[in-house]
Structure 1
Amino acid sequence: MNSAYRTHLETHRNTHLKELKDLLSIPSVSALSAHKPDSKRAAEWLADSLQAAGLENVKIMPTDGNPIVYADWLHADSDITALIYGHYDVQPVDPLELWQTPPFEPDIRDGKIYARGATDDKGQIFMHIKAVEALLKTEGKLPVNVKFCIEGEEEIGSPALEPFVEQNKDRLAADVLVISDTPMLEKGKPAICYSLRGLCAMQIDIRGANSDLHSGIYGGGVANPLHALAAILASMHDERGRVAVEGFYDRVRPLTEEEQQAFRDLRYDEEALKKELNVSELYGEEGFSFLERTWARPTLEINGIYGGFQGEGIKTVLPSEAHAKLSCRLVGDQDPKEIQELIEKHVYAHTPPGVQVKVTRMDTGRPFETPYDHPVIQAAMRAYEKAYEATPALTRMGGSIPIVEGFGRLLNVPVVLMGFGLPGENFHAPNEHFHLENFDKGLITICEYWKELAGIKMK
């Protein structure tokens, strides 16, 4: 199948890659205040690119943090409007010595482009701009109306985005939100993610005596905060891997038989995973596969424990305090604040005598799900099939992107997560890269998606 837009993309490929290199050269690291001017420069670069592509109403909109770039094109024959979200900020590059080439000097080798932000998320949002440009240059119009919302703080939790969306509901109103910031299943196997787990995090602080004590003089006679903490943490799971916090599973929706079969059809190789991770066994809630445990079941994990003597050798001390950090991944209708309340109640109920406990609530994010039979998801599947000549997998993701749920809730819009990265592309790590095969096929997929979307009837 050939078309004018495909010819345009092929003809201008070298120019597009040069432009992508220009964008990737901007060190827009949101976590480091020294790069604040670079974030502004990245926003300006994107605004210029959107303008050149034929978008209208291009604006760099200030926030309490880094600016948000907005643009739209609203002249389609279809009455469907798509909102495209992405982010121009990137992770820090440490450890720098592990990079084969400098992180902000993009390099193409072995069919991949290497740079910080290549796959997360500059490369993928850049593709959306070029897809719109290709259609406007060759067909003079777009199949659907489009709006862009590109932020600069995703890598630090998007603190300014939800207030921005709340204040700009009318400007951002759409029928579907499209995000390309998730991975494919593997090379040649595209995937559409229809569900993300939610998140909540907490810290437990245990205090005993007013100072560290000699374990020979006081041990066995005064409560040890590390023992108390260990007892509390051990009480949180039963012997079958289930979370033992009362009420934890009350709002979990079970997988349908159709979803369970879809998971089985992926034929995920758990033995290969064990070899890759160098573990003898996988662990988790009894009666569920690895994919079910990591995509569709909630978890409670201990992320860190500290207290007492940490140095080399031995110091016979009874510590005065102990600490632990916890996080949960949530599914279904679980409310992160309610889960925090249940865990806090559990901690106080299982605290041994002789110590004081404090629970501090931290990050939260709700689970997100778009029904996989929704017309906007089905249209995305057809678009992938045309570009990749392969049926995309319908997947869930074990991670959390809290702003996705926030977007869906505030704008009352279905969300389509159609990413083009690969799991091994080192996002957040040294030598981040993006396969140019997926750059090429991804551009076609996006163009075909707008065409498919124009023909659907929204529920």
Structure 2
Amino acid sequence: MTRPQERDNAVIAAHDYFAGGAFEREFAEAIACPTCSPEKDPRRKQFDRYFDQVVGPQLDAAGFRRSVMPNPLADTVAAAGPFLFAERIEDPALKTVLIYGHADTVAGMDDSWAAELAPFALTRKGERLYGRGVADNKVQHWIAIKALRFVLAAKGRLGFNVKLLLETGEETGSPGLRDFCETNRNLLAADVLIASDGPRLKPDRPTIFTGARGAINFELIAHYREGAHHSGNWGGLLKDPGTRLAHALAAITDARGRIEVPEWRPRNSLTDRVRELLAACEPLDDSDGRLPGEPAIDLDWGEQNLTPAERVFGWNSFAVLALDLGNPATPANAIAGRARAVCQLRFVVGTDQDDILPALRRHLDALGFKDIRVQADKDDVAMAATRVDPDNPWVGWARDSLALTTGKDPVILPNLGGSLPNDCFADVLGLTTIWIPHSYRGCCQHAPNEHILAPVVEEGLRMMTGLFCDLEAGPAPVSG
């Protein structure tokens, strides 16, 4: 792969944009625009402002045509917000890339941030830039849009076509995105998806992943009677929902988190090629390289015969997200009538998504827990597991481009440990999906004090600029 002067000039411009402070001045406007996804937060109405006043001018300057399009589920799902679609078509005969991102964030959690920090004000402390949505997902699509502009400034053209899709409901399960993709297949037709979300494997290691683990949320409920009854007068006579629920939960995994539901143990996920890729990810628990805020990995947790990387990228994991029983702040001496657990399964390719909850039902019934109700998430939100062949030519092309820009060997993951609506692009649109993240595992996304690392942002700007410079001569289109 050559390094033409135009490429060098574009990459240098990306560096200067960050080093000279222009990135922080411009990006502060994106963070100052609250775009919270939870439907009860009135700030979710800021999407139009974000599209028109923040992202829109950047796209206009790059010669894009843009429009805000309605969500197919807008009339039936409160969280189904609009989409921003933009395109720059230089020549229909050229390659076309689809770029995806999401404008919505989780709630601000305003009162829980550290002193001198606020969710909707970009604040720099050392090499950290704080603000709600900085990592998830505003900086990720901001980097892509700015990189395109640097390529245009250096070359006077892109040499390929671009379509960009920003949604507003990813944090609530992307309602309507799949329907939108199915309805607009021709509008969204492309040769490859290049998008950014999630964390790098390590802050100093450029990362590529080609899919994501799926996720399904559900509840386990033990409901025996209305109200609570005196634990002295009724203790030993009434079935305790807390105890029953605890035993049911304990039947899902063993004491170290090894999954006991047979159908939840994936088939053919850890192929020899996947194991080879994940071997290059070890050790994940590098105490010397761990940044403040990143927890140490519990090496005695999860599937015993798997490495840490295999557990998070090649296997399924079960989590209890919340428990509801009585009032912990002021417990009463009474036998409760009801207990509830909110649970989640993250799952990889090789797991039958349609059989996840039926399999749990069969497992609990066989162990004598027919009285424990299994209830799907009230919003019926689940994300599918996806994974593109890591030897796809687009993956090798992206790896070589990132290596050329950074002088580093990028890590290639078969899929992200988290979940994304990647099935909309890989399965519905049939695209090869290349994800290049610009955050890190300790970024506190979905929590107070969300932040990004300045060196990762600067390197991300250079990487994506180089990548888009190289796309004109990229590999021949390959279907996903």
TM-score (norm. length: structure 1): 0.89
Match of 1:229 in 2: 245
CA displacement at 1:345 relative to structure 2:
2.4
SS in 2 for 1:177: strand
Within-5 A mapping of 1:410-429: 410-429=428-447
Partners of 1:393 and 1:166 in 2: how far apart? 32
Match of 2:77 in 1: none
Match of 1:292 in 2: 310
1:73 paired residue among 75, 88, 95: 88
Within-5 A mapping of 1:416-455: 416-453=434-471, 454-455=473-474
**Number of equivalences:** 452
Match of 2:396 in 1: 378
Instruction: Say whether 1:400 aligns with 2:419.
Output: yes
SS in 1 for 2:134: coil
Partners of 2:466 and 2:286 in 1: how far apart? 37
Partners of 2:156 and 2:205 in 1: how far apart? 32
Instruction: Say whether 1:43 aligns with 2:51.
Output: yes
Q: Quickly say closer, same or farther: Cα 1:129–1:28, change in 2 above 3 A.
A: same
Give the letter aligned to residue 364 of structure 1: A
CA displacement at 1:82 relative to structure 2:
0.6
Partners of 2:136 and 2:400 in 1: how far apart? 24
Q: Is the 8 A contact 2:151 2:469 kept in 1?
A: no
1:329 paired residue among 331, 346, 355: 346
Q: Quickly say closer, same or farther: Cα 1:324–1:407, change in 2 above 3 A.
A: same
Give the letter aligned to residue 404 of structure 1: N
Q: Quickly say closer, same or farther: Cα 1:269–1:134, change in 2 above 3 A.
A: closer
1:157 paired residue among 173, 189, 198: 173
Match of 1:9 in 2: 14
1:83 paired residue among 94, 98, 104: 98
Q: Quickly say closer, same or farther: Cα 1:261–1:103, change in 2 above 3 A.
A: same
Q: Quickly say closer, same or farther: Cα 1:271–1:89, change in 2 above 3 A.
A: closer
Give the letter aligned to residue 340 of structure 2: H
TM-score (norm. length: structure 2): 0.85
Partners of 1:301 and 1:23 in 2: how far apart? 33
Within-5 A mapping of 1:94-243: 94-96=109-111, 98-99=113-114, 100-209=116-225, 211-238=227-254, 241-243=257-259
Partners of 1:112 and 1:216 in 2: how far apart? 55
Q: Is the 8 A contact 2:90 2:159 kept in 1?
A: no
Q: Is the 8 A contact 1:70 1:147 kept in 2?
A: yes
CA displacement at 1:330 relative to structure 2:
1.0
Partners of 1:16 and 1:120 in 2: how far apart? 17
CA displacement at 1:154 relative to structure 2:
1.8
Partners of 1:455 and 1:287 in 2: how far apart? 40
Q: Quickly say closer, same or farther: Cα 1:329–1:11, change in 2 above 3 A.
A: closer
Q: Quickly say closer, same or farther: Cα 1:127–1:337, change in 2 above 3 A.
A: same
Aligned-CA RMSD value: 2.7
Partners of 1:36 and 1:381 in 2: how far apart? 37
1:78-115 CA-partner distances (Å, limit 9, x unpaired):
63211000122222221435243333232344344332
Match of 2:25 in 1: 18
Partners of 1:4 and 1:431 in 2: how far apart? 35
Give the letter aligned to residue 52 of structure 2: E
CA displacement at 1:360 relative to structure 2:
1.0
Q: Quickly say closer, same or farther: Cα 1:214–1:438, change in 2 above 3 A.
A: closer
CA displacement at 1:125 relative to structure 2:
1.0
Q: Is the 8 A contact 1:147 1:172 kept in 2?
A: yes
Partners of 2:125 and 2:169 in 1: how far apart? 29
Q: Is the 8 A contact 1:78 1:143 kept in 2?
A: no
CA displacement at 1:312 relative to structure 2:
4.3
CA displacement at 1:308 relative to structure 2:
4.5
Partners of 1:325 and 1:72 in 2: how far apart? 41
Q: Quickly say closer, same or farther: Cα 1:50–1:350, change in 2 above 3 A.
A: same
Structure 2: which 5+ runs fail to align? 75-79
Q: Quickly say closer, same or farther: Cα 1:62–1:308, change in 2 above 3 A.
A: closer
Partners of 1:227 and 1:196 in 2: how far apart? 35
Q: Quickly say closer, same or farther: Cα 1:332–1:10, change in 2 above 3 A.
A: closer
CA displacement at 1:138 relative to structure 2:
2.4
Structure 1: which 5+ runs fail to align? none
Q: Quickly say closer, same or farther: Cα 1:382–1:91, change in 2 above 3 A.
A: same
Partners of 2:24 and 2:236 in 1: how far apart? 68
Q: Quickly say closer, same or farther: Cα 1:38–1:271, change in 2 above 3 A.
A: closer
Partners of 1:113 and 1:301 in 2: how far apart? 30
Identity within the alignment, %: 25
Partners of 1:33 and 1:188 in 2: how far apart? 36
Give the letter aligned to residue 357 of structure 2: Q
1:261 paired residue among 276, 284, 305: 276
Q: Is the 8 A contact 2:211 2:422 kept in 1?
A: no
